[in-house]
Every structure is written in structure tokens, then in C-alpha cells.
Amino acid sequence: MEILEDNLVKGQTAGWVTISLTSGSYAPDSYAAKYHRIVLAATGSYTIDDPINAVLGRELSLAIFNASTGGPISVSFGAKYKTAGFATPALYKQSTATFVCDYNGDWIQVGAWAVGV
């Protein structure tokens, strides 16, 4: 891993990447953008896989939006996420958190999840 002085290197933009899922998983690419909005468009189980391009000091923010039909949704996270306090957002709400990559390539949660915003 390389050490970064800022958050915008190697083509990273400060904008949002938005992905709509009807099932399965998503692995955020930390080079694509800092902010990833993940729209859960159907009921079911989802996995937020470990991010691609782990770089020491890189920040990554996730906004997980519930756009399902109102049925049950479950969300799990890859082993590299060090997170606690996630709650599945209510219909048409989102839960957000920010992570920073450490020396081991783990993504450490910074602050608490903002749930239902």
C-alpha cells in the first residue's frame, strides 16, 4: 500500500458512485470515488464486499439506501470492514458511515452510522 497526502489521487473523484442492486453484492472501488451510494432495490440479502484498491489513509463513505418494496432486507459486510452499529434503513431512508484504510488494509469505521437519514 502507498501512503496518501490527500484523498484525490489516481483518478479518484470527490463525487458519488451510485449502484442499484436487486440482489447479491457490491465491492466499492476506492479509486472510483470516495462516496458510494448503494441502492437496495429489492428485498433480500446483500453483502458489501471488501473494497477494491485498499490504500493506507484512503477514506470511503457508504450510503446504503432502501428502495425495496418494503419487505425484509439484510446487509452484511466483508471481513475487512471494522464496523459496528449498522441498522438496515427504513423504506426510502439510508444509513451512512465513513471508513479509513489502515496499515493492514482493514477499513476502520470513523464515527457512528447515521441511520434513517
pLDDT in tens, 34-73: 999 999 999 999 999 999 999 999 999 999 999 998 888 9
| Residue 53, in any domain of the structure | yes
Flag whether 101 is in a domain: yes
Alpha-carbon gap, residue 78 to 111, rounded angstroms: 19
Q: Is residue 42 part of a domain?
A: yes
- What total number of domains does the chain contain? 1
CB 13 within 8 A of CB 33: yes
**Mean predicted lDDT score pLDDT of the chain:** 88
- Domain presence at residue 84: yes
pTM for this one? 0.86
Smallest CA-to-CA distance from 28 within 43, 16, 11 is with 16
Kindly state whether residue 72 falls inside one of the protein's structural domains: yes
Note the pLDDT tens digit of each residue in 8-44.
Answer: 555 545 577 888 989 899 999 988 889 999 999 999 9
Which ranges of the chain would DSSP assign to H, the alpha helix?
none
39 falls within a domain: yes
Domain that holds residue 48: 15-114
Determine, yes or no, domain membership for 4: no
The pLDDT value recorded for residue 32 is 86
Q: Over the range 28-61, which residues count as b (16 or more CB within 10 Å of their CB) and which as e? A: bebbbbbbbbbbbbeeeebebbbbebbbeebbbb
User: Is 86 part of any domain?
Assistant: yes
Q: What is the pLDDT of residues 82-112, one digit of tens each?
A: 999 999 999 999 999 999 999 999 999 999 9
Per the CB < 8 A criterion, the answer to whether 73 and 46 are in contact is: yes
